[in-house]
Amino acid sequence: MTDLTRITLAQARDGLKARSFSATELTQAHLDAIEAAKALNAYVLVTPEKALDGAKAADARLAAGEAGPLEGIPLGIKDLFATEGVRTTACSRILENFVPSYESTVTAQLWRDGAVHLGKLNNDEFAMGSSNETSCFGPPVNPWRRTGSDTPLTAGGSSGGSSAAVAAGLALGATATDTGGSIRQPAAFTGTVGVKPTYGRCSRWGTVAFASSLDQAGTITRTVRDSAILLRSMAGFDPKDSTSVDRPVPDYEAAIGRSVKGLKIGIPKEYRLEGLSPEIDALWQRGADWLRDAGAEVVEVSLPHTSYALAAYYIVAPAEASSNLARYDGVRYGRRVPGKDIAELYENTRAEGFGREVKRRILIGTYVLSAGYYDAYYVKAQKIRTLIRRDFENVYAAGVDAILTPATPTPAFPIGQKVTSPIEMYLNDVFTVTVNMAGLPGIAVPAGLGGEGLPLGLQLIGRPFDEETLFALGEAIEQAAGRLDAPQWWG
Amino acid sequence: MAVDDNTVRRIAHLARIRVTDEEVPHLRSELNAILDFVAQLDQVDVSGVEPMTSVLPMDLRQREDKVTDGGYADRIVANAPQSEDNYFVVPKVVE
């Protein structure tokens, strides 16, 4: 039999329907692969019993002809999504023993559609990071290595467990979240597809909050089609999230294979950064050529406020984080460190419970929101956000259908390389962060291997709620670039 | 707008995070590095620009003002480090 962990989600779905293999066989193959891949540290909790129970129920529904759209598909869940009765930590010591009594809307919809829960995936603590090194469980390891080297590389962050698991065949797909690039950057680093949908497309309810005006749930999968299938189940209106958008979810998979002929693709000149590596520049050029060959028209566009996005982000995101993370007080849930009074209990609990990067961001956020500085920092950053969004609106109003950029300024880097410099780490998000600031959808698609033998990704940015055009264009790139599979060295 | 050691201590107290004297200088330099980085925003003319208050243009929904959930205090306190009779237990707050 073919290796059931190396097929695509779409192939698995079709194979299950045709009864070529059972959901139990498919799930067991993934549990075995997870067991053999402990060195990757992709999962922080495996739920084999839950997975096999789910697979058994899926087999029954498949036999009865009552299969849901994801019936029997084994998935990994980022440890930021609350899962009922299954420990959910956000990879923080402060939540080390938290077992939710409720299920996040996104995961509830996956189970509704028949998916099988393999376990919880590693991420940066509270999704704050770009290399997954802030996790209290330690970083996951990228299944990809440089040619001729065994130096462990980052799988990206914050959704590094999701990207590592999908690239290594430890799940057919994974949920992820993206606040500044946390889906698209790890996808680019691992040769996988990452989709950050439009703000409001997926419910935030039951997902551990980082920066509420930027956070959005999305997918990491091995193909564009797989992301389209998965997103359809995850997306949709939820009255429990006040910024959830009430509009129908299209059949995203129908956009796969749709012609891109005549679409207008913008190349933003401000993304051509000084010092951009020639390899990334050539990749970008090649991506534009592929889309041109597929019949799209490629034009240069201008997004003049691009260079301010990262700085504005590093005001808005920490400000919202400092407010959201105020709830971790050692009283209602999570770790508690005693003190002589309640103030000292709070201070001790938070000092011991939060890691360095999280504390740094809470402090920055507290500072920019403090009396006398609110207007100078937070309000100013929100004004710049208006300008960033306006840049995109102008480009789309001029007839551009989507924007093509590199996904990241570099391929995956060694674990430990950038932890000492927060600013250098923040620069990872330079191509992705504008998308969150403007609330737009974005997709990262593998576009080939670079000189070191590592995957490189391209990013497409779409109009609000036009994920379908991104799926059509993303698949055109995928067709031209070919799929990437990490050579197996683990297990 | 550089922060000094006392500002670091004040901010840490506002954020209810204990910092030790050894941590303060390091935090100060990290916070100043980030504030230097964001200082580039001073170059942008934002006069007449409205701050973004809604990511996508939409009105905040309102719902009927009635109880739609609840009645399971035991589940609410299930993860509490210390609880008694479905109450959260904290050190004495009022003398």
List, for residues A165-187, the tens digit of each pLDDT value: 999 999 999 999 999 999 999 99
Question: In chain A, which residue's Cα lies nearest the Cα of B61?
Answer: A242
Nearest chain B Cα distance for residue A491, angstroms: 36
Q: How does pLDDT run across A55-68, given as a tens digit for each residue?
A: 999 999 999 999 99
From A158, A159, A227, A233, the catalytic residue = A158
CB contact under 8 A, A439 and B17: no
Nearest chain A Cα distance for residue B3, angstroms: 9
CA distances from A134 to A131, A189, A334, B35 (A): 8, 17, 18, 21
Q: Which of 355-394 (A) contact B at CB < 8 A?
A: 359-360, 362-364, 366-367, 370, 373, 376-377, 379-387, 389
pLDDT of residue A422: 73
Checking if the pLDDT of B76 tops 90, the result is yes
Tokens of B43: 């170059």
The shortest CB-CB distance from A347 to any of B17, B38, B93 is to B17
Tokens of A222: 């091995």
State whether residue A240 sits within 8 Å of chain B by CB. Answer: no
Residues in chain B: 95
pLDDT of residue A341: 95
**Averaged pLDDT score across all residues of chain A:** 96
Nearest chain A Cα distance for residue B95, angstroms: 11
Nearest chain A Cα distance for residue B46, angstroms: 7
Q: Is A158 a catalytic residue?
A: yes
Q: How does pLDDT run across A419-457, given as a tens digit for each residue?
A: 777 777 788 889 999 999 999 999 999 999 999 999 999
CB pairs under 8 A between A and B: 157
Contacts of A10 (CB under 8 A, 6+ apart): A223, A225, A226, A229
pLDDT of residue A425: 77
Tell me the whole-structure pTM to 2 decimals.
Answer: 0.97
Q: How does pLDDT run across A63-107, given as a tens digit for each residue?
A: 999 999 999 999 999 999 999 999 999 999 999 999 999 999 999
CA distances from B28 to A259, A282, A360, B8, B22 (A): 54, 41, 10, 6, 11
Predicted ipTM of the assembly:
0.96
Question: In chain A, which residue's Cα lies nearest the Cα of B54?
Answer: A213
Contacts of residue A389 in chain B, CB cutoff 8 Å? Answer: 52
Checking if the pLDDT of B43 tops 90, the result is yes
pLDDT of residue A275: 83
Cβ(B11)–Cβ(B3) below 8 Å: yes
CB contact under 8 A, A422 and B30: yes
Give me the phi and psi of A240, to 5 degrees please. -80, -5
Query: How much of chain A, in percent, has pLDDT values that exceed 70?
Result: 100
Checking if the pLDDT of A241 tops 80, the result is yes
CA distances from A175 to A13, A234, A238, A323 (A): 17, 9, 18, 25
Cβ(A43)–Cβ(A74) below 8 Å: no
Specify the residue for token string 């990749």: A283
Q: How does pLDDT run across A461-473, given as a tens digit for each residue?
A: 999 999 999 999 9
Confidence of residue B63 (pLDDT cuts 50, 70, 90): confident
CB contact under 8 A, A354 and B46: no
Helices B23-38 + A309-324 axis angle, to 10: 130
d(CA A318, CA A308): 16
Checking if the pLDDT of B1 tops 70, the result is no
Cis preceding-peptide flag for A277 (omega within 30 of 0): no
CB contact under 8 A, A312 and B88: no
Mean pLDDT over residues A381-397, rounded? 98
Cβ(A118)–Cβ(A97) below 8 Å: no
Reference A191, options A490, A489, A487; nearest CA is A487
